[in-house]
Amino acid sequence: MERIVAGFVAALRENGIRVSPGESLDAVQALGLCGMAGRRSSRLLLRLTLVKNVHDIPVFNEVFNRYFSRYPFVDPELNIPDLMDAALIDLEGEFNYLNPQQSDDHDQAGPLLKLDSEIHPEDLAELKSLTEIDPDDSDGNEIVVQMKGHRGKAKAPRPTRRYTQNPLTIELNKGSSTDSGITFTPEEQMAMQDVVSRMMLRLRKDMKRMKSNQNRGKLHVIKTIQKNYRHDMVPFQVALRRKRRQKPRLVVLCDVSFSVSHASRFMLLLLHTLHNQMLDVRSFIFNRQVAEITEMLANMPVNDLMEVIDRGDIVDLDENSSFGEVFLTFKKKHLENLRGRPAFIILGDARNNYGEANDWVLDEIREKARYMLWLTPEDRETWRRGDCLMEIYGAYCDKVEVVKTVEDLSLVVEGLLRDIYADQAHPLDKKRLREAREAEAYDPKDYYTRGGNGGSEPGFDPSGRSRW
């Protein structure tokens, strides 16, 4: 039994679930305690002891099915004809497995293959579990496989209905209607959640470092008395006054026009996730018009919001983007009622379609802003080409960053937030922070990345969409 468990643990590790030796010992102990009463209960036991995260459960189920499909299992409740059928199906499955025609590049072996063979009524249960594993491919395997290849290759802008599409793409899109490229898959949302929560963790650490030093203030008499009430007012514990910390404010202007839609998609997702975490963020999107979406980001599921934006219900997407005009309207409508000294992030390619630049507005925004950051998905070489006004606009910004991947984006935003926090800190704290950050140069986040990934973020998605 130990051997089987060890083998199974190895299979789990191969699939990215981190199982410690202690946990496999637990599993063996648990199996010894409960005995092997059947497939279901053994699976329960193994799951209870080996899996420590909800998101690992589907993977675990899959590995379990695959690993233990090699061992023929006998359910005592089954009667003989059913057993025969099961054996038959098994055989056929094996046949299919050996058949070279079936070797597709899907990594789900075992139960999946049965789909290709004749479907028996007994298979229904299996089929149900199949849809659980893979909700997308309702239209058969081949189409999805092709879809993936297509998406992976095409780094071109995503096709939307406003642009002529070649018939191939249309047909493929029909194949899986849920995956039209606008909305986010749960995995993408999860990955973003992951990136953001890790970012928050690092930021919070910074905050704590500062906070501990910030206790050096004047004595807060009332609080000290309150705190030491039970010690007969003998001040064992001292409460000190603390300066009120300003919540960092952030204003984001995000271009949603077609040319940068890839970048803005993830920016919006990042904003949405940030929104749920903390911060005072006001978000605007623009193309030719500009509109505030702060409320919507906070209250709508992100996929619904993406669809609304993509339909052009908030800002008209059929027009050419015009930065000059946007800045002007922004100044008229919104600039006056921005509170505090927010940090500005503008995401766009600065392609103004040869309209009025209106760069003087940026100067005014700059006066209001603590910090101004421009994010562009384009490389520096192309900043002068065509209608790109990056050089002009960039002159007003504190920093212009090229962001191409989700990791870039989150790093840049994190750096910005850090700077904002550090801005309010005591000079001594700043020095300490800097030192601490240097010490962290070999990012501890590597610790969490699952083995074999070489320190990069855990695979954002398989079709290469995290690259814009």
Partner 1 sequence: MISEQGVKDLLNASGYIADDAIATAVFLALHMEKPILIEGPPGVGKTGLAKALSSALDFPLVRLQCYEGIDEGKALYDWEYGKQLLYTQLLRTQLDTYLSVSADLREAVERLSAEESLFFSKNFLVQRPILRSFLSEKRSLLLIDEIDRSDDEFEALLLECLSDFQVSIPELGVIEAKRKPLTILTSNGTRMISDALRRRCLYLYIGYPELEREVAIVRAKFPDLCEELARQMVEFLRKARELNLRKPPSVSETLDWGEVLSILKATQLTPEIVANTVGVIAKHQTDLQKVTELAVQELS
Residues binding partner 1 (CB under 8 A): 18, 20, 22-23, 26, 29-30, 33-34, 40-41, 44-45, 47-49, 51-54, 57, 197, 201, 230-232, 234, 236, 299, 301
Smallest separation (angstroms) from partner 1 to the CB of 107: 24
Smallest separation (angstroms) from partner 1 to the CB of 312: 23
3-state helix, strand, coil in the chain (%, to 5): 55, 10, 35
Helices and strands per DSSP (H, E), number in the chain: 18, 6
- Region of residue 204 (left: phi > 0; alpha: psi -120 to 50; beta: else): alpha
Closest CA to 181 of 192, 172, 168, 190: 172
Helices (H), 73-162: 80-98, 124-133, 141-153
Nearer to partner 1, 33 or 125 (CB): 33
Helices (H), 338-405: 360-368, 390-394
Smallest separation (angstroms) from partner 1 to the CB of 17: 11
Smallest separation (angstroms) from partner 1 to the CB of 58: 11
Nearer to partner 1, 209 or 341 (CB): 209
Smallest separation (angstroms) from partner 1 to the CB of 435: 21
Distances (CA, A) of 341 to 104, 174, 225, 360, 410: 56, 48, 36, 19, 22
Smallest separation (angstroms) from partner 1 to the CB of 7: 21
Nearer to partner 1, 10 or 57 (CB): 57
- In degrees, rounded to 5, the angle at the alpha carbon of residue 434 between the alpha carbons of residues 429 and 435 is 100
Smallest separation (angstroms) from partner 1 to the CB of 3: 21
Contacts with 411 (C-beta within 8 Å, 6 or more apart), sequence order: none
Nearer to partner 1, 246 or 277 (CB): 277
Smallest separation (angstroms) from partner 1 to the CB of 446: 14
Contacts with 399 (C-beta within 8 Å, 6 or more apart), sequence order: 372, 373, 374
Closest CA to 273 of 250, 298, 248: 298
Smallest separation (angstroms) from partner 1 to the CB of 201: 8
Cβ atoms 429, 211 nearer than 8 A: no
Nearer to partner 1, 295 or 313 (CB): 295
Q: How far apart are CA 40 and CA 36, in angstroms?
A: 9
Nearer to partner 1, 45 or 372 (CB): 45
Nearer to partner 1, 3 or 40 (CB): 40
Nearer to partner 1, 99 or 276 (CB): 276
Nearer to partner 1, 51 or 315 (CB): 51
| Residue in the block written with tokens 């009120």 | 244
